[in-house]
Amino acid sequence: MAKKSYRQAINDAIRQEMLADPRVVVMGEDNAGGIEAPGEDDAWGGVLGVTKGLMPEFGRERVLDTPISESAFIGAAAGAAATGLRPVAELMFVDFMGVCFDQIFNQAGKFRYMFGGKAVTPLVVRTMYGAGFRAASQHSQCLYPIFTHVPGLKVVLPSSPYEAKGLMIQAIRDDDPVIFLEHKVMYDDEEDVPDESYTIPFGEANLTREGDDVTVVAFGRMVGLANAAADALEKDGISCTVVDPRTTSPLDTDTILECVEETGRLVIVDEASPRCNMATDISALVAQEAFGALKAPVRMVSPPHTPVPFAPELEDAYIPSQAKIETAIRGVMAH
């Protein structure tokens, strides 16, 4: 088993599905290229190189560079999915969803329901999210709660290269529209990733740590920080279960509730803005379904309710950190 980066794992998944199924196509701004050739062939393979090398292997009929018009090519991808292809469309930054959201939530997400279950829309929208890249407020948001709110969409947040490959293959094979969110700070993260094709099912959480005292639910990049906090506190005799839901829609509510019932304490780590994010959603779930099991109030670790700052010192202070997670865990233990 070879070590692969988060970027390579996603590329691997798309490439293997393109080899297996001629209906899989890639489209987006600068998605072609990557062969270090002169002229127009010397594109990037996407803004951070995720699709690099696909165009030379599969040709321009299956790896399409699009105009800078998200409303046009996301709409085209939805139409292509409804008429027989399996497009993987790249919305460069999730912050740009505002110009193509109608195509996603009011069209693609409703096709199955509007046509009595007879239409399928096997569309994957890949998109970057998250702060820490010094990309300022218009390129650093975590807008996955907005997609999670929409019935008909599946929403994926891989927390590692292994998850990225298995979840991407699952996404491409799914017959419903999938929003696949890639944290831009994680593209160079590496771990062992199988060369062969494999899938990770949606709606099945992964327990990355198991303990008796506190349940920590974290999403995407926050899973790694939650693991680091759990490892640090283990030395002080505090043992944590860390839950990585992997998908926010469908959400594995059974695993979350079972873990909370076992530990009696809950900390939720969510990089999205604190109003109406996943942390508030899970807090409400536990308050309704497992209130009697709680030994302490639920703690949420989220950024302040402001746009992502551009100044590096402020951006670092804005993002949930290992130290903030440790403080929250100690807080529920001390209650």
Rounded-to-integer distance, Cα 175 and Cα 82, Å = 10
Identify whether the C-beta of residue 81 lies closer than 8 Å to the C-beta of residue 121: yes
* Average pLDDT of the residues in 200-221: 98
| Confidence at residue 150, expressed as pLDDT on a 0 to 100 scale | 97
For residue 96, give every residue at least 6 positions away whose Cβ sits within 8 Å of its Cβ, in sequence order, or none: 70
Query: If you write DSSP's letter for every residue of 70-129 in order, what string do you get?
Result: HHHHHHHHHHHHHTT-EEEEEEEEGGGGGGTHIIIIIIGGGHHHHTTT------EEEEEE
| Confidence at residue 91, expressed as pLDDT on a 0 to 100 scale | 96
Residue-averaged pLDDT of the chain? 95
Q: Which residue has the tokens 């839950």?
A: 243
| Confidence at residue 145, expressed as pLDDT on a 0 to 100 scale | 98
Rounded-to-integer distance, Cα 256 and Cα 249, Å = 14
Identify whether the C-beta of residue 214 lies closer than 8 Å to the C-beta of residue 329: yes
Rounded-to-integer distance, Cα 89 and Cα 71, Å = 12
| Confidence at residue 43, expressed as pLDDT on a 0 to 100 scale | 58
| 47 band by pLDDT with thresholds 50, 70 and 90 | confident
* Average pLDDT of the residues in 104-127: 96
Assess whether pLDDT exceeds 90 at residue 46: no
Rounded-to-integer distance, Cα 38 and Cα 194, Å = 34
Q: Of 139, 149, 183, 335, which one is the catalytic site residue?
A: 139
* Average pLDDT of the residues in 110-126: 96
Cα–Cα distance list, 256 to 216, 218, 259, 298 (Å): 9, 11, 5, 13
* Average pLDDT of the residues in 99-110: 96
- At residue 3, what are phi and psi to the nearest 5 degrees? -75, 135
pTM of full prediction above 0.85: yes
Helix (H/G/I), strand (E/B), else coil: 286: helix
Rounded-to-integer distance, Cα 171 and Cα 123, Å = 8
* Average pLDDT of the residues in 131-155: 96
Convert the pLDDT of each residue in 296-307 to its tens digit.
Answer: 999 999 999 999
* Average pLDDT of the residues in 262-288: 98
Rounded-to-integer distance, Cα 126 and Cα 275, Å = 24
Identify whether the C-beta of residue 74 lies closer than 8 Å to the C-beta of residue 104: yes
| Confidence at residue 11, expressed as pLDDT on a 0 to 100 scale | 97
User: Which of 30-34, 149-153, 323-327 is least confident?
Assistant: 30-34
Convert the pLDDT of each residue in 73-82 to its tens digit.
Answer: 999 999 999 9
Identify whether the C-beta of residue 271 lies closer than 8 Å to the C-beta of residue 142: yes
Assess whether pLDDT exceeds 60 at residue 111: yes
Rounded-to-integer distance, Cα 318 and Cα 294, Å = 29
Assess whether pLDDT exceeds 90 at residue 44: no
Q: What percent of the chain has pLDDT over 70?
A: 96
Query: Order of strands across the sheet with 266-269?
Result: 206-209, 240-244, 214-218, 266-269, 299-301
User: DSSP code of 97?
Assistant: G
Rounded-to-integer distance, Cα 69 and Cα 85, Å = 21
Assess whether pLDDT exceeds 90 at residue 1: no
Assess whether pLDDT exceeds 70 at residue 45: yes
For residue 73 the two structure tokens come to: 């090519």
139 is catalytic: yes
For residue 13 the two structure tokens come to: 């998944």
| Confidence at residue 87, expressed as pLDDT on a 0 to 100 scale | 98
| Confidence at residue 41, expressed as pLDDT on a 0 to 100 scale | 58
Closest to 179 in 3D by CA, of 97, 111, 113, 99: 97
Identify whether the C-beta of residue 153 lies closer than 8 Å to the C-beta of residue 202: no
Query: If you write DSSP's letter for every residue of 226-255 in order, what string do you get?
Result: HHHHHHHHHTTT--EEEEE-SEEES--HHH
Map out the domains of the chain with their CATH numbers.
2-193 (3.40.50.970), 206-334 (3.40.50.920)
Assess whether pLDDT exceeds 90 at residue 84: yes
Rounded-to-integer distance, Cα 198 and Cα 320, Å = 32
For residue 308 the two structure tokens come to: 């992502």
| Confidence at residue 32, expressed as pLDDT on a 0 to 100 scale | 82
- At residue 213, what are phi and psi to the nearest 5 degrees? -95, -45
* Average pLDDT of the residues in 259-278: 98
For residue 189 the two structure tokens come to: 């993260």
